[in-house]
Amino acid sequence: MFRLAHISDIHLGPMPRLSAAQLASKRITGYVNWHRNRRKHLFGNTLENVIAGMRLASPDHVAITGDLVNLATRTEIEAARLWLETHFDPANATVVPGNHDAYVPGAFARATAAWRPWFESDSPAPGNALFPGFRRRGPVALIGCSTANATLPFMATGEFGRKQARAAGRLLEQAKQDGLYRVVMIHHPPVRGAAPWHKRMRGISRFARMLGKHGAELVLHGHTHLDTLHHIKGADGPVPVVGIASASQGPGGRKPLAGFNLFEIDGEPGNWKTTHLRMQLGPEGPGMVENPAGVIALEETLG
C-alpha cells in the first residue's frame, strides 16, 4: 500500500516589510487583503500542527499544490525555499506552483528557480521544461501541471494551455502503459463552477478532454481553500478531483480549518482501490490535549 499526503495553499507568513516600489503594482491589493482578512486567520502554529499530524501519518510521498507564498516577493520566495528544505526532502515531496507564486511578472521564474528540486522530473523533459513534470514513486506516477501566471489586479485566474495539455496527455498514456496509478497535480480546480469567475482556470474544457482521452486515477488541487470532491469523466470511468483547505487556516474564519488529505492506494492496474482520509485540525484549534497532532479523520472510498 502506498500512502500519499496532500497539502495546499501554505501562504507562508508573516508578511515581509514591503517598499513603496514593491507596492506600486498588483501587490497593493494583496497587501491590503492580507492585513484586512488573511492575517486574522492564517496565523500561529496552525501550519506546524498540520505538518506534525502529517508526519505521524507516515506518508510515502507528499503532494503540495501551490500558493506557498502570498505576494511572491524575493524575501517570501527565499523563505519558502528554506521552509521546503526544512520539512521536505525533494525525493519525497512534489510541488506545483499556484497563482500567488506568480503574483507579478518575473515572480514565476524566480520561484521555479528557487524551488526547482521539488518540481523536477525524474528525467529531463524536452526543452528542459518543468511542466508538466513526471515523477514515479513506487506504483504511483505524479504528473505536475502549472496554471500559475501573473494576472491583473483583482484577478486570480490560471491557464492550462494546449501545449501543456498535449504533453500531460502523453505522460498519462505512458504511465498507463507502465501500469502506474496516475495522480495529476494542479493548483486551480479543473472543474467548472468550482471557483468564482475571477479565480477560474482557463482551459477547463481542454483538461476534461485530456482526461476523457487518456484517463487518470486521481486529480489533486488547491486554490479554493475548501475541502471538496468532484468527478470528471475519464477514459476508464469517473476521475475523483479532490481539493483541500489551506494548510495555514486557523479557527474563526469562513473557510474550513487547516488539514491534509491522506490517500491509501492499493491494488493493481484495472483494479485500484483508493481510500481517502481527510485530516483536519480539531475544532478547539491546534495543540488540543486529546490529540497531540490536533487532527481528526473523515474517511471515504473513492473507488
Q: pLDDT tens digits for 125-159?
A: 777 789 999 999 999 999 999 999 988 888 889 99
Please compute the mean of the pLDDT values over residues 175-182 and round it to a whole number. 97
Given a cut of 50, is residue 178 above it in pLDDT? yes
Q: Note the CATH number of domain 2-301.
A: 3.60.21.10
Note the pLDDT tens digit of each residue in 40-49.
455 568 899 8
Closest CA to 260 of 282, 243, 286, 279: 279
pLDDT at 254: 84
Per-residue pLDDT tens digits for 208-240: 999 999 999 999 999 999 999 999 999 999 999
Helix boundaries (H) for the chain: 20-23, 27-36, 46-57, 74-87, 107-114, 162-177, 204-214
Query: What is the pLDDT, as a whole number, of residue 251?
Result: 80
For residues 168 and 146, the answer to whether their CB atoms sit within 8 Å is no
Burial 125-149 (b: 16+ CB within 10 A, else e): beeeebbbbbbebebbbbbbbbbbb
Give the list of residues 6+ apart from residue 22 with CB closer than 8 angstroms, or none. 71, 73
How far, in Å, CA of 95 to CA of 253, rounded?
26
